[in-house]
Amino acid sequence: MKNLILSILFFLPFLTGCQKSLEKETSGAAVKSSYYTEPHRPQFHFSPEKMWMNDPNGMVYYEGEYHLFYQYYPDSNVWGPMHWGHAVSEDLVYWEHLPIALYPDSLGLIFSGSAVVDWNNTSGFGENGQPPLIAIFTHHDMEGEKAGRQDFQYQSIAYSNDRGRTWTKYAGNPVIPNTEKIRDFRDPKVIWDEGSQQWVMVFAAQNHVKLWASPDLKTWTHLSDFGREWGSHGGVWECPDLFPIQIENTGKTKWVLLLSINPGSSNGGSGTQYFVGDFNGKNFTLDPSFAPLVTGEKAVWLDYGRDNYAGVTWSDIPQEDGRRIFLGWMSNWDYANVVPTEAWRSAMTLPRQLKLKSTATGLRLLSQPVKELEVLRGAAYSREGQTINGELDLGSQLGFSPSQMEVLLEVELPEGAQTDFGIALSNPKGEEYRIGYDAVQNKFYSDRTKAGAAGFSEKFAAKRHFAPRTSPGNTLRLHLFFDVASCELFADDGEVVMTDIFFPTENFSEVKAYSEGGEVNVSEMKVYPLKRAIER
């Protein structure tokens, strides 16, 4: 008896302790399990906790943090008066949501723009020997627009001395007024140009970009214009970016100009084209080996999917890292306001490293998912030397949901192949998304015509859309990411990219590889389940 009492006394604290930690875990799990689990909510892409989001803004790296600001309307899940929302990440994978950084003011709404670290305190806004962060954005005067003025957009700045947590708008705003009275006059991206030792701003002005320069981010002078006679002009130019980048495997540096356009993209609505050339501190000029000058194409698209818009690159990535890292808004103005989500609207693409490569068809940008994403991988399902003719059910072999997965495929096409090869995700309701390669046309394609909800816009899923394959050879390399409501294809090491969203009314739970019209040999296949990146 005594022993029994003793042992109860001995175990009691453990038993109650266990109970407590169990309770904590259970209640913790209850909170976690409902957070970010609404239908169509991405699990490892950045999306705002609630309400409307569009373009990424102010992307800058400082003191171990990647800042992501974004066009944000906190009062509704459709576009409205713009603020800058804010999040930070140490690794581009896990994001911490922070309070709104910039609110509309008497000069207008806060449209898209960029941010830099003013290392030498050229602006004089720094404090205590620490460099300030400077945000450069467009003020959009809604009243002015309503009153029929043409000069309702102009460029302004704000500064922060507490690692981007709070911001003060410059009393001398706007720093670039709209004296030419151009209606679309926006989206400044600022860089420090080592060559000319000055700040350079590129922004969109309707059908071209303008380059301006400044010694201190406050006083600006016009350098030059570019683009009236180049690229696609099916819509308004928006959200440019300009940066130097080395051609892979050479010591040579070229300059890249990214340029979003809406509408008029390759597959309809919003999209991003790019130009490769040189910048001499004043003018941007195209390089004779830039792809369209070699092939006669009108424009080269960064992404041939329908959902990668207004993307730009991070500023101030440390030299020892040296990467050029890009992020876009994963939607399209053709339907962004009406996609079937409630609590929040839209997500960003995965962060991608851009590389410049000399190819048979001239200089081209490659996009590759950043390596940090590998932390999300679970144990791989791998196969080698698998011939596919018809359909190969993968779902039953994987042992995890295809709704959140990464797929790497190396495929050998027989000489003169007539094959239509790809991956199909589906659900028991018969909804299906296909992403693949059509050898007859030598094109990649993305097909969401049967992938679930689509009635919200006739422009959403009218037809399968395509991307030309530019790489020669019979070995195809496909790198795919699926995240509940999106697919990103990086083909031929990122030479061709397609990003598309879709809305199955029940998560995709089945996956197969198919080869129609002939066989293909999948020399290597790796499939990883991907963890959610909502909380560690």
Q: Report if residue 265 touches ligand FRU, rule: CB under 6 A.
A: no
Cα torsion at 278, 279, 285, 291 (round to 10°)?
Answer: 30
Q: How far apart are CA 298 and CA 474, in angstroms?
A: 27
Which residue in the set 102, 135, 310, 522 belongs to the binding site for ligand FRU (CB under 6 A)?
A: 310
Long-range contacts of 82-88 (CB under 8 A, 24+ apart): 82/109, 82/110, 82/111, 82/140, 83/109, 83/110, 84/57, 84/58, 84/110, 84/135, 84/137, 85/48, 85/53, 86/164, 87/46, 88/164
The CA distance from 527 to 399, in Å, is 11
CB of 333 to ligand FRU, least distance (A): 7
- Cβ 138 to ligand FRU shortest distance, Å: 6
Q: Does 208 bind ligand FRU (CB under 6 A)?
A: no
Show Cβ contacts of residue 422 under 8 Å, excluding neighbours closer than 6 positions.
Answer: 434, 435, 436, 437, 445, 513, 514
The smaller minimum CB distance to ligand FRU, of residues 82 and 348, is found at: 82
Considering the rule CB under 6 A, would residue 237 count as an interface residue with ligand FRU? Answer: no
Candidates 330, 309, 271, 378; CA nearest to 488 is: 330
**If binding is defined by CB under 6 A, does position 43 make contact with ligand FRU?**
no
Instruction: Work out how close the CB of 187 gets to ligand FRU at its nearest, in angstroms, rounded to a whole number.
Output: 5
Considering only CA atoms, which of 257, 327, 265, 270 is closest in space to residue 57?
327
Beta strands per DSSP E along 196-336: 198-205, 208-214, 221-226, 236-246, 253-262, 271-279, 284-286, 300-301, 309-313, 324-329
Q: Using the rule CB under 6 A, is 307 a contact of ligand FRU? A: no
Instruction: Report, in Å, the least distance between residue 311 CB and ligand FRU.
Output: 10
Tokens found for residue 151:
């000069």
Total residues at the site for ligand FRU (CB under 6 A)? Answer: 12
What is the Cα–Cα distance from 156 to 171, expressed in whole angstroms? 10
Q: Does 486 bind ligand FRU (CB under 6 A)?
A: no
Please select the residue that binds ligand FRU; options are 141, 238, 447, 495, rule is CB under 6 A: 238
Q: Which of 118, 141, 187, 447 binds ligand FRU (CB under 6 A)?
A: 187
In whole angstroms, what separates CA 351 from the centre of its chain? 6
Pattern 116-145, ligand FRU, x by CB under 6 A: ----------------------x-------
- Residue ranges in 46-75 that form contacts with ligand FRU under rule CB under 6 A: 54-55, 71
DSSP 128-186: TTBPPEEEEEEEE-HHHHHTT-S--EEEEEEEESSTTSS-EE-TT--SB--TT--SSEE
Question: Which of 111, 154, 199, 274 is in the footprint of ligand FRU by CB under 6 A?
Answer: 111
Position 254 contacts ligand FRU (CB under 6 A): no
Is 55 labeled as catalytic in the residue annotation? yes
Catalytic residue among 55, 141, 187, 193: 55
Q: Is 114 in the site for ligand FRU (CB under 6 A)?
A: no
Q: Tell me the closest approach of the beta carbon of residue 182 to ligand FRU, in angstroms.
A: 13
Contact status: 82 vs ligand FRU (CB under 6 A): yes
- 178: contact with ligand FRU by CB under 6 A: no
- Looking at beta carbons only, is 212 or 437 nearer to ligand FRU? 212
- Position 476 contacts ligand FRU (CB under 6 A): no
Check: CB of residue 484 under 8 Å from CB of residue 403.
yes
Least distance from C-beta 84 to ligand FRU, angstroms?
10
Closest approach, Cβ 342 to ligand FRU, in A, equals: 21
* Cβ atoms within 10 Å, residue 422: 25
Does 423 sit near ligand FRU (CB under 6 A)?
no
Chain contacts with ligand FRU (rule: CB under 6 A): 54-55, 71, 82, 111-112, 138, 186-187, 238-239, 310
Catalytic positions: 55
